[in-house]
Homo-oligomer: A and B are copies of this chain.
Amino acid sequence: MLTTIQEIYQSAEKLSQQEKIKVGGWVKSPIRQDKFIEINDGSCLKNLQLVCSPDLAEELKKINFNSSLIVSGKLILTPERTQSCELQIQQIEFINPVIEENYPLQKKNIPLKVVRDYPHLRAKTNYFLALFRLRHSVSKSIHEFFHQEGFYYVATPIITSNDAEGAGELFNVTTENKEPFFSKPGKLTVSGQLHAEALVQGLGKVYTFSPCFRAEKSHTTRHLAEFWMVEAEIAFIGLEEVINLVEKMIKKIINNLLINNILELEYFENYNQKEIITKLKKIVSADFKKVDYGESVKILDSASNQKKFVFNDIKWGMNLQSEHEKYLCQHFSGPVFITNYPADLKAFYMKNNPDGKTAACFDLLLPTIGELVGGSIREDSYQTLQEKADKQNLNTGGLSWYLDLRKTGYAPSGGFGLGLERLIMFLSGTENIRDTIAFPRYPHHLEF
């Protein structure tokens, strides 16, 4: 294989002792001063400078922005310059120019709004190269975190007959045949949690990393019809331990970014996210606050006297609105876990607290984006679970297997769910969730 630009910057001295190395990439700066060309091969954010002799310059003048190229040559150390090395081209092995009428992203610094119309070309722009690289690193950290903590990676089904929370509109899965493919109407999953709960009753600690779907016709910058969820489930656990696990995971993800992806973070900082690195460092060193829902309502009530919320009728039992969540993060200057919400506001599977009014649950609120993670201890009483489902008018006919888990040696269990794309929005400062995934799915679009 070719030598990558990352390898070149990592081992420049060693590679400079070789007669010749071969490098491929896409042209990020066409020839200047009849001599210099910059290419990038995706392996890292930094480009490699190519230097050519006058006899090759003529040919290389034909090469336009984002053409692909393979060259061989000698690596020269240039410690006195900004870039620590450059490649003196001896031979052009391959050229494939861009046909400009087919390439709408010729210019530099094209607004994201325009790039969004060409998802198949996004990986040719610096912004999305940085963003996809960050998404990769976050995903990698999540897998590593769970492996270190002794979790098993499990596959929960995508096509299901269940609707985990009785919430949100579902996509149907059908075939052209008259005879149904499955025994029941198939839906695209909104959450793998219920199935993960079955698996944890034997495996002890499990997590999923899986696509989920909502058929809401939502045109906001915070919703996708198809998104990736990370869900964890742990047997023999209490609420505080789940909360501590979430805090540890978020900090690990950010720590890894600060170590491995500082170039990408600097890119976002220069792009439009002033002080994003400072913001992330602050989160890593913060103790995430833990505040009871009741307490958080009191704080909001005090604030409502001075600062008018749009939704200003603050009282126990209300749903926290986005403005309230943001206020609480401001109030505590950082991430906050709100715990023990009123049971009536939350899903049927969450365990009731002894007070009979609240559930053993939490949301993690982050500055600027609000809710990032939701979790709970699961209701372990068959009867209470059935009553809660009935109260929410859920059809539990198809969920008898889930209720039955409570009768077959059920171990108290708890867990949480995290929306990957929302996390990436927070970490990169990207303002539209459609930019956090390579081929976003949302209403009225499916060209690619």
Binding site for B on A (CB under 8 A): 1-2, 4, 6, 24-27, 41-43, 66-68, 70, 94, 96-99, 102-103, 119-125, 128-129, 132-133, 135-136, 139-140, 143, 147, 150, 152-162, 169-177, 181-184, 186, 188, 195, 198-205, 210-211, 213, 215, 217, 225-226, 228, 234-237, 241, 380, 398, 401-402, 404-405, 407-412, 437-439, 441, 443-448
Q: Do residues B437 and A24 form an inter-chain contact, with CB atoms below 8 A? A: no
Contact A140:B136 (CB < 8 A) given known A42-B235, A217-B181, A438-B154: no
**Quick one: given A132-B152, A228-B155, are A26 and B407 in contact (CB under 8 Å)?**
no
Check B159 against A226 for contact (C-beta < 8 Å): yes
A134 CB to nearest B CB, Å: 10
B70, B172, B439: the one contacting A176 at CB < 8 Å is B172
**Contact status A136-B154, CB under 8 Å:** yes
Shortest distance from the beta carbon of A199 to any chain B beta carbon, whole Å = 5
Most chain-B CB neighbours within 10 Å: which of A170, A204, A235? A204
The answer on a CB contact under 8 Å between B407 and A195 is no
6 examples of A-B residue contacts, CB within 8 angstroms: A41-B204, A103-B407, A120-B198, A120-B405, A125-B202, A195-B448
From B66, B171, B203, contact of A408 by CB (8 A): B66
Q: Give the CA-CA distance A398 to B448 in the complex, in Å.
A: 7
Complex interface: chain B residues within 8 A of A198 (CB): 119-121, 123, 438, 448
Residue in B161, B200, B237 whose beta carbon sits within 8 Å of that of A446 in the complex: B161
Across chains A and B, which 6 residue pairs bring their CB atoms closest together, nearest first? A42-B204, A123-B202, A24-B236, A182-B446, A68-B411, A102-B407
Closest to A140 in B: B147
Give the contacting residue for A173; candidates B188, B210, B439, B447; CB below 8 A.
B188
Q: Could you say which residues of chain B place their CB within 8 Å of the CB of A174?
A: 171-172, 174
Which of chain B's residues has its CB closest to A380's CB?
Answer: B96
A68, A125, A444 — most chain B CB neighbours (10 Å): A68
Partner of A205, one of B42, B143, B150: B42
Residue on B nearest A70 in the bound complex, by CB = B236
By beta carbon, the residue of chain B nearest A102 is B407
Complex Cα gap A41–B202 (Å)? 7
* A226 and B43 in contact, given A150-B6, A173-B188, A211-B211 (Cβ under 8 angstroms): no
Known A-B contacts A173-B171, A226-B159; A132 and B154 likewise in contact (beta carbons under 8 Å): yes
CB distance from A235 to the nearest CB of B (A): 7
Is the Cβ of A176 less than 8 Å from the Cβ of B182? no
Which residue of the partner chain, among B129, B155, B181, B409, contacts A98 with CB atoms under 8 Å? B409
Q: Is the CB of B215 within 8 A of A124?
A: no
A171 to B188, CA, bound (A): 11
Pairwise interchain contact B215-A408, C-beta atoms closer than 8 A: no
Distance (whole angstroms) from the CB of A251 to the closest CB of chain B: 18
Chain B, Cβ-Cβ closest to A6:
B150
Nearest Cβ on chain B to A204's Cβ, whole angstroms: 3
B235 touches A24 (CB 8 A): yes
Q: Which of B70, B225, B409 sits near A67, CB closer than 8 Å?
A: B409
A186 and B446 contact, CB distance less than 8 A:
yes
For A155, what are the chain B residues with a Cβ–Cβ distance below 8 Å? 135, 211, 228, 437-439
Contact residues in B for A205 (Cβ distance below 8 Å): 42-43
Interface centre among A158, A200, A402, A409 (most CB of B within 10 A): A409
**Given the complex, which residues of B lie within 8 Å of A438, measured CB to CB?**
154-157, 195, 198-199
